[in-house]
Chains A and B, each alone.
Chain A
Amino acid sequence: MENSHVRDAMHTPTETEGSAAAMGAKIQAQGTNVHYGDKHALKDVTLDIRAGEVTSFIGPSGCGKSTFLRCLNRMNDTIDGCRVSGTVMMDGEDIYDPKIDVVQLRARVGMVFQKPNPFPKSIYDNIAYGPRIHGLAANKDELDEMVVTSLEKAGLLAEVKDRMDSPGTGLSGGQQQRLCIARAIAINPEVILMDEPCSALDPIATAKIEELIDELRENYTIVIVTHSMQQAARVSQRTAFFHLGELIEVGDTEQIFTNPRHKLTQGYITGRFG
């Protein structure tokens, strides 16, 4: 199932390393292309994602936001017939390098999905799963500690502390999504990717998640895909606009929403299409 990565030898890591680190770029994608079989879903995307900031991806649906997001933790590897080319560097290291262990990469880059997907296990086991497979806790007490801190950070602790042993699937949609966020931060990643994390939630649950994202920004680099421009404006510092598989424009969120440079961006944020 693992797909072959056609890597572009022209981008050598050493060229960009120094300058990027100076600008605080956590992830740098250069000339990233993705094909699903014959379909060219992502076209030559070059984009920096800065550390300690929330970057949002916006654009009409089917424009490749999720596809690009999945390039950042190599989740595209699990899709049959998907090919990624170009380079994606994280802390100056090419994550598509054959020497990189994808398991370790994903421990550093967590992900939250569009539909909450807790495992059919207890709340405790959902959170403890990551630390367990990565051997992060030396003993049961440490593991308990990790579970509690993660739930705390995800703002879920108060709601579930009396029912840690009940199944995670029994929570409400918003709670499930926060459980998934807690699950992701339990392994202490550097980056958290979120693919439309609020699209299955009601406004109140959405507001909670947005608040949470704002708090998490302190410790994590966050990339969020959203179809709501208000959400992008509320939670992110930088915004990237995609259209038909191409990155049209990227800049400070304020600039993108008040003074877009590209006609397509302007059309999209003023609601003329999409």
Chain B
Amino acid sequence: MPFSFLLLVLAGLAVISYRFGTARARAVAPGRQSQLHSRPMYHGLYAAMWCGVPALLIATLWVAFQPLLVKGLVMGGLPDAYQALPEARLNLVWNDIRNLAIGDVVRAQPAPEIQAAADTFHRLYAIGNSALALLCLVLAIAGASFALRRVSLTLRARNQVEKVITVFLIASSMVAILTTVGIVLSLLFESLRFFTKVPPLEFLFGLHWSPQTALRADQVGSSGSFGAVPLFTGTLLISLIAMCVAVPVGLMSAIYMSEYAHRKFRAIAKPMLEILAGIPTVVYGFFAALTVAPFIRRFGEGMGLSVASESALAAGLVMGVMIIPFVSSISDDVINAVPQAMRDGAYALGATKSETIRNVIVPAALPGIVGGVLLAVSRAIGETMIVVMAAGLAANLTFNPLDAVTTVTVQIVTLLTGDQEFDSAKTLAAFALGLVLFCVTLALNVFALHVVRKYREQYE
């Protein structure tokens, strides 16, 4: 039977054992349930677990290993002539067999050995699947009856169930952690491969970025140099412009919201500000590319400046707007967390409202605000869509905001989109860039969270 159907049956069995478990627990202690160590519900769950968990585990392992086993058996059954083939050819043969068996691609005239192997493949799978189904059902029923037989006044079903739940919770959190570790490791290994082709020092300190590598020796225009400094400066420039917009605007709006605004205004304006954070970045991107960049160019040309049609300024400004809600909502939180007693103390000394804010509230909230700004910076550094659309691709080493620049994220996108081979320096460079990006944002986040947490402790 198909796997999904098997799962359904298992689930059904688990539900049935739950029912039996509760019913049995009730029957063990008729009318004096308080004498049961665990409530009937736990006995039910206990039975359901014994029914479902072992069977599921076996099924998972089976599904994971069956293909390997089948492959071994099928290939082992091939005539000696095939066994002698080199690895690569053998893989092709295996593909043929599989396609034939699954009926994906019908070759006109399969060799008789191949046809035979395909039949074996088919048969093995059929046997495997029924064996699995049978095994699972037996395990489920055996587990359930074992659990049901153990139901008694003293069975510590609750403790057992809690233990299993804990294991599930741990496993879930492990998924997140392991994914992170996996991503980091893959970044790390691919970067190491890149660094065997390009020395790390050249990558980190080289001033020229032109990742077109030659596929053939006679190709022109493919210098293949990987000095990432222009990318770093581009990222830095755009982030800087973004922060110049986001920090003052965000901070001042936070101060207005928390100290001056009427409660009703705040109730409307705060969610509206936070909507900014919900606009998809691609929308910001075309806003930057189609509205802001041309405006800046016209404006700049009006003043006699030469402005690239894709400029760091356009991307940075729009990115700044995008980050405003980060800065303002964190600042707002920390400003509100400054105790009223601080304000009272200042007012009682005859400080005006703005003096109180400048001299007492903002300094008291400063660590938290800095934390918020750092989080915003790491957001800006990692932002991709806006820059792809508005800042251009030219890896210029410049600090002129009116020039086109490119950033780390943009280069990663361009290196990996389109048809690529996955072991050229060009594609591997993307991993090295990703690693740098990861390290920088990680460091910023850790530092920012540390600052924010330290500030929280101060008043609690």
Residues on A with C-beta less than 8 A from B348 are 73, 75, 106, 110-111, 113, 184
Q: Which among A78, A104, A115 is the interface contact of B350 at CB below 8 angstroms?
A: A104
Set of chain A residues within 8 Å of B351, measured between Cβ atoms: 103, 129, 133
Contact status A187-B341, CB under 8 Å = no
Query: Is A120 in contact with B350, judged by CB distance below 8 angstroms?
Result: no
Q: Which residues of A contact B263 (CB under 8 A)?
A: 80
Please name all residues of chain A whose beta carbon is closer than 8 Å to the beta carbon of B207 when the two chains form the complex.
none
Contact B360 A130 (CB under 8 A): no
Q: Is A45 an interface residue (CB 8 A)?
A: no
Whole-angstrom distance between the Cβ of B121 and the nearest chain A Cβ = 74
Q: Is B344 an interface residue (CB 8 A)?
A: yes
CB pair A117–B345 under 8 Å, yes or no, is: yes
Q: Is the interface of B mostly helix, strand, loop or mixed?
A: helix
Distance in angstroms between the alpha carbons of A126 and B299 in the assembled complex: 49
- Tell me if B208 is interfacial: C-beta within 8 Å of chain A: no
Q: Are A133 and B342 in contact (CB under 8 A)?
A: no
- Most B C-beta atoms less than 10 A away, residue of A107, A119, A134: A119
Give the shortest distance, in Å, between A118 (CB) and chain B (any CB).
Answer: 8
Contact, CB under 8 Å: B359 / A133? yes
Question: Which residue of chain A has its CB nearest to the CB of B339?
Answer: A117
Chain B residues contacting A180 (CB-CB under 8 Å) are 345
Q: Which of A103, A115, A180 has the most CB of B within 10 A?
A: A103
Which bucket holds chain B's interface residue count?
Answer: 20 to 34
- What is the CA–CA distance of A250 and B41 in the complex, to the nearest angstrom? 68
CB distance from A127 to the nearest CB of B (A): 10
Docked complex Cα distance between A180 and B341 (Å): 12
B352 at the interface (CB under 8 A from A): yes
Provide the residues of chain A in CB contact with B56, threshold 8 Å: none
Task: Please state if A184 and B349 are interface contacts (CB–CB under 8 Å).
Answer: yes
Decide if B344 touches A117 in the complex (CB within 8 Å).
yes
Centre residue among A80, A105, A113, A120 by max chain B CB count within 10 A = A120
- A183→B344 contact, CB < 8 A: no
Query: What separation, in Å, do the CA atoms of A177 and B343 have in the docked complex?
Result: 16
Check B364–A129 contact: CB distance below 8 A: no
A217 within 8 A of B: no
The interface on chain A, measured as residues whose beta carbon lies within 8 A of the other chain's beta carbons, has a size of: 28
The CA of A105 and the CA of B444, in the complex, are separated in Å by 47
Contacts of A35 in B (CB 8 A): none
Partner of A183, one of B349, B359, B363: B349
A153 within 8 A of B: no
> Smallest Cβ distance from A183 to chain B, in angstroms?
7
Which of B345, B360, B458 contacts A113, CB < 8 Å? B345
A73 to B364, CA, bound (A): 25
Q: Are B347 and A106 in contact (CB under 8 A)?
A: yes
CB distance from A184 to the nearest CB of B (A): 7
Given A78-B343, A113-B345, A117-B345 in contact, is the A103-B364 Cβ separation under 8 Å?
no
B349 x A75 contact (CB < 8 A): no
Q: Is the CB of A106 within 8 A of B364?
A: no
Q: How far is the CA of A161 from the CA of B332 in the complex (A)?
A: 37
Q: Which residues of B contact A1 (CB under 8 A)?
A: 260
Contact A103 B350 (CB under 8 A): yes
Q: Which of B347, B355, B363 touches A120 (beta carbons < 8 Å)?
A: B363
Q: Which residue of A lies closest to B367 (CB)?
A: A120
Is B346 at the interface (CB under 8 A from chain A)?
Answer: yes
Nearest opposing residue in chain B for A116, CB measure: B341
Contacts A/B (CB < 8 Å), 6 sampled: A110-B349, A111-B344, A111-B348, A129-B359, A133-B351, A133-B355
Q: Mark B residues whose CB is within 8 Å of A.
A: 260, 263, 339, 341-352, 355, 359-360, 363-364, 458
Across chains A and B, which 8 residue pairs bring their CB atoms closest together, nearest first? Answer: A106-B350, A111-B348, A117-B341, A107-B350, A117-B345, A130-B349, A103-B350, A120-B364
Task: Give 13 A-B pairs besides A106-B348, A111-B348, A133-B349 with Cβ atoms closer than 8 angstroms.
Answer: A104-B350, A106-B349, A106-B350, A110-B348, A110-B349, A117-B342, A119-B345, A120-B364, A129-B346, A133-B351, A133-B359, A134-B350, A183-B345
